[in-house]
Amino acid sequence: MRRALQFILTARAYRLGALLPKGSAKGELLRWLLGSSERSDDAPRGERLRRALESLGPVSIKFGQLLSTRRDLLPDDIADDLARLQDEVAPFASATAIDIIERELAKPVNEAFASFETEPLAAASVAQVHAVTLPDGEAAVVKVLRPEIGTKIAADIRLLKRIAALIDRLSDDFKRLRLPEVVADYELTISTELDLRREAANASLLKKNTAQRKLVFIPTIFWDYSTPRVMVSERISGVPIRDITALNNAKVDMKLLAERGVEIFFSQVFDDCFFHADMHPGNIFVDITTPQSPTYIAVDCAIVGQLSREDQYYVARNLLAILQRNYRLVAELHIESGWVPPSTRVQDFESTIRMLCEPIFDRPLNQISLGHMLVNLFRAASSFDMKIQPQLVLLQKTLLNIEGLGRQLYPELNLWETAKPFLEDWLKRQYSPRNVVRQLQRDAPAFIHHASQLPEVLPQFLAVQKRILNEPHRKEAHARDSHYWIGSGVATLVITLVANLQSHWYPIAGLCLVLLGLIRLRQ
């Protein structure tokens, strides 16, 4: 109750009720309760919301950071202001950090490390970082979760859920804010940051994926020193990417640096299918050892994105269709992928996308934001009842970060020149004969495993089919299923030949499938 009262008083102090849409009498009561009477000397609404979240503490700051990524729901001015929320917050006592480390590692700090710096290097909303030296003399950092952070987050999430549900019920005008799903998205995201072993695993995989390209460096994780609340990793040395002056003084090739940032993003999303999804300036450094060939250093891998093969395909084709201004295809792809309901009228969706995107193309290419085009696309889709897709929200957020960062480094950056050839080449590579064979080889064992069970299930299946065959409305579906089984059998035989599978079960399974389809057709 005290926390709820604190939320209400803070909202009234910053007159956040004015941010809610006007609605029914109940809605107006809520607006009044949260402070709806704006003053002439008030700060802009986005700034008021940002300051309110900052005053409510680390958990609310983290919520504001995530809220800033939902540009499909928020006006641009509010999203831009919330994006200014920084991870720099007041650190907690070093003695508390030492106590947590000693409990987690089950040994005193002076035994675990050769040295430990009590002054934290950085403090964020969920954890803080101290510099240490390992017993073998290697420089490292130790990341420590804030005390009781899990309890505080759980309590605030419960309160946010109740507030969101209340606002959602009060009026249809409030439903378009989709606050319950925003809070659910926040809960999913924040939960991944409360076990540092998950972040360590993410960092290890990102390091493995990016090692060959050598465009970004991920610090090594020291697993012997890592637990759910403590993580130790290699200490990095680089220039913060926001320090443009230092990069220019070092004569860094800023155009190449900006283009490499875009290349890192697309290669992680489409080649690795696993991308760093928290690429704000506080997490990015630059190795300027070779200024004419600079590389990135990325830290804080707690939030990552991962696309399924289907999502990769639809995202790539959607981005290409936008670049080609083929709005009809964009609408069809959204329906085909299931992102919007199948009942959506293609013509209406196409018209909405054209209305939002077409004016942007009047600008010079180097001023067009692909990230904001994606935001407009999601905005259009949300009006057609597109359900929240967390992986796409992370993709949109990361693209906006990378694009903004790239243009800060090199204002003439033309993201389109990098994106279009990459996407076209990726689609060609994905569906080249060699890659199709590789996918068949990868999926063949699972397919054959199920096909090899046909001798057991085939008699039962045929008996069931005979019973339902006399139903008139089943005829069309029956013929379609028959062709499906025949096709599956032929595919099994092709896989056996192409992938050179040796087991005698594989051709037998393929022949059984073909036989099943023929039997059903004759019936």
Nearest to 30 by CA among 39, 21, 42, 43: 21
Query: Locate tokens 């300036």: which residue?
Result: 281
Characterize 200-225 residue by residue with b for buried, 16 or more Cβ atoms within 10 angstroms of its Cβ, and e for exposed. Answer: bbbbbbbbebbeeeebbbbbebbeeb
Say which residue the tokens 């970004």 belong to: 216
Helix (H), strand (E) at residue 144: strand 139-145
Q: Phi-psi bin for 286: left (phi > 0), alpha (psi -120 to 50), beta?
A: beta
d(C-alpha 222, C-alpha 166), whole Å = 46
Q: Is 285 left (phi over 0), alpha (psi -120 to 50) or beta?
A: beta
Find the catalytic residue in 72, 278, 287, 311: 278
Query: In terms of Cα–Cα distance, which of 223, 250, 195, 269 is closest to 418?
Result: 269
Helix (H) or strand (E) holding 245: helix 244-249
Q: How far is CA 171 from CA 32, 177, 383, 514, in A?
A: 15, 11, 17, 57
Spatial separation of the C-alpha atoms in residues 327 and 315, rounded to whole Å: 14
Q: How are beta strands 295-298 and 304-305 bridged, if at all? A: unpaired
278 is catalytic: yes
Quick one: 358 exposed, middle or buried, by C-beta within 10 A (0-12, 13-18, 19+)? exposed
Distance CA 206, CA 225 (A): 20
Other residues' Cβ atoms within 10 Å of the Cβ of residue 298: 22
CA–CA distances in Å: residue 110 to residues 114, 221, 235, 356, 396: 6, 20, 18, 60, 44
Here the tokens at position 68 are 């800033």
Cα–Cα dist 379/371, whole Å: 12
Write the single-letter amino acid at 445.
P
Looking only at the bridges linking them, the beta strands covering 127-133 and 115-116 are antiparallel
Q: Give the chain's end-to-end CA distance (angstroms, integer).
A: 69
CA distances for 387 relative to 188, 333, 391, angstroms: 16, 15, 12
Phi and psi angles of residue 68, each rounded to the nearest 5 degrees, phi first = -65, -20
Report how far residue 147's alpha carbon sits from residue 96's, in angstroms, rounded to the nearest whole number. 8
Angle, helices 415-430/254-266, rounded to nearest 10 degrees: 30
Cite the active site residues: 278
